[in-house]
Amino acid sequence: MAMKVELPETGTMLFTSDAVYMGDSYGPPATPAAIVDDLTAWYGSVEKIRGIAEQSDATVVLGHDAEQLRSMRLAPSGFYA
């Protein structure tokens, strides 16, 4: 599951939740997390997310990537409009 959000000031953001855990998982090449039990479905999901991101010029927000999180504006001092 992922969620695409259109924000007036920031543009499109695509939140991957558990579909893509970290930057290493997203790749390229995509590298599955240990909990993935259906590789074919998982690779298909990653490519679908990648296609949506490219088509909509979205910022991809990964589900559990601490490094990416440190680079983003966070509440309560920052927010996305």
Is the predicted pLDDT of residue 41 greater than 90, yes or no?
Answer: yes
Q: Sign of the CA dihedral 60, 63, 66, 69?
A: positive
pLDDT at residue 77 is higher than 80: no
CA distance 39 to 56: 26
Per-residue tokens: 81: 């409009």
Q: How far apart are CA 34 and CA 74, in angstroms?
A: 28
What pTM value is reported for the model? 0.82
Q: What is the pLDDT of residue 42?
A: 93
Q: Tell me, what's the pLDDT at 74?
A: 74
